[in-house]
Chains A and B, each alone.
Chain A
Amino acid sequence: MPASTIPAPRGATISGWGTALPDTVVTNAHYEARLDTTDEWITERTGIRERRHGSSTAQLAIEAGRAALDMAGLTGDDIDLILLATTSPDYQIPSTASQVQEELGIRGGACDINAACSGFVYGLVQAHGLIAMGLNRVLLIGAETLSRLTDQEDRNTAILFGDGAGAVVLEATDDAGQLLAFDLGSDGSARKLLDAPIGGYMQMNGKEVFRRAVTVMVQSANTSLAATGISADELALVVPHQANIRIIEAACSRLNVDADRVATVLARTGNTSSASIPLALVDALDNGRVKKGDHVLLVGFGAGMSWASAVIRWTGHLPEVAS
């Protein structure tokens, strides 16, 4: 861990990334056989065709984190801090990040962040802040096992949620780095719209969550964009939280962003909360959809009701496919 003196402001860049999904694929046909629903209905209404169930939040985080470290050419020794965004930790005490720390051989700090589906973007902003204050490298992970918090007999929620993880390594740079602007927010008065008591299952007012989700995604995206001075037209890619294709379509149409500039993976992951944005981002990166200098908007919303957006100009590592 660096000394606690605060250096001149400096930026950060993403130097590696990775993902993890459990092995068990749960298709819509699984629910067709158990609940009063059909594959066609689920696909049309949500955009989800399958999701993954299993493993643990820590194990998924470790697998994704290890892949991100490998890509960055780093070992656990190099990492000053783990930030693990999760709303489905394995234990109430201690943080899930503590297990990740041990198993990845990291000697720096470790803590969980819970901002539900906005958690990864909250963590991304915090990582940049801590790097500006002197940390050199942060491992940021979004990991969830929402299947444990979902009543598999409840047609309203069972079909929607899945398990998974995505991770990025952020490293200090000598320049301003990649983060151009961000917006973090929350409306605690709406927290009852989507919640799960300790030891219980999630319940959700889907209609009201839908409406608020579209509204706050658009507002937050516009706030971040306005701060950068770039327009939605100039975005190469939008990486939205993957909850429901209809929320994504409704929000992106209001932002005037066509589907070919939107990263989506929810057809095969379902809603993985904190993991959804890194899963979609990594999928886009691995498929060469981001080039150096591109502007990328990350935007999430979730329980709380929380929201978060960030605009980055891609300065980081790119895989072979993009060159």
Chain B
Amino acid sequence: MSDEQFEQFKACAIEVLAVSADQVTMEARFGDDLDADSLDLVELVMKLEEVFDVTVDESELENIETVGQAYNLVISKK
């Protein structure tokens, strides 16, 4: 995991989910820890698609629960 890429990811999460930097850890759960619902996750992925220049299918979001899962999904597309 590149620090630079995770910092980019973190910046997106902070902006879209209105959370603080220390909340965005690999283990953080979108629902329980970041108070993000399914549409927040869609918005985050849209932002990540722009920033990382990747395309994520909606069906791939079904089982995403943690920051780490979302990060790995996006990075796997690079």
Q: How many A-B residue pairs have CB under 8 A?
A: 27
Is B11's beta carbon under 8 Å from chain A?
no
**A207 and B43 within 8 A (CB):** no
Closest to B61 in A: A207
Closest to B15 in A: A253
Q: Which of A103-111, A162-170, A208-216, A232-240 contacts B (4 or more CB under 8 A)?
A: A208-216
User: Which residues on A sit within 8 Å (CB–CB) of B46?
Assistant: 211, 214-215, 250
**B58 and A246 within 8 A (CB):** no
What is the bound-complex CA distance between A205 and B39, given in angstroms?
11
Interface of B is mostly: helix
**A250 and B58 within 8 A (CB):** no
Is B38's beta carbon under 8 Å from chain A?
yes
Interface size class of B (residues with CB under 8 A): 10 to 19
Instruction: With A206-B38, A207-B41, A211-B46 given, name 6 new contacts (CB 8 A).
Output: A45-B39, A207-B38, A207-B39, A211-B42, A211-B58, A215-B46
- Residues of B whose CB lies within 8 Å of any CB of A are 37-39, 41-43, 45-46, 58, 61
Q: List 23 A-B contacts (CB under 8 A).
A: A45-B39, A205-B58, A206-B38, A207-B38, A207-B39, A207-B41, A207-B42, A207-B58, A207-B61, A208-B58, A210-B39, A210-B42, A210-B43, A211-B42, A211-B45, A211-B46, A211-B58, A214-B43, A214-B46, A215-B46, A246-B43, A250-B43, A250-B46
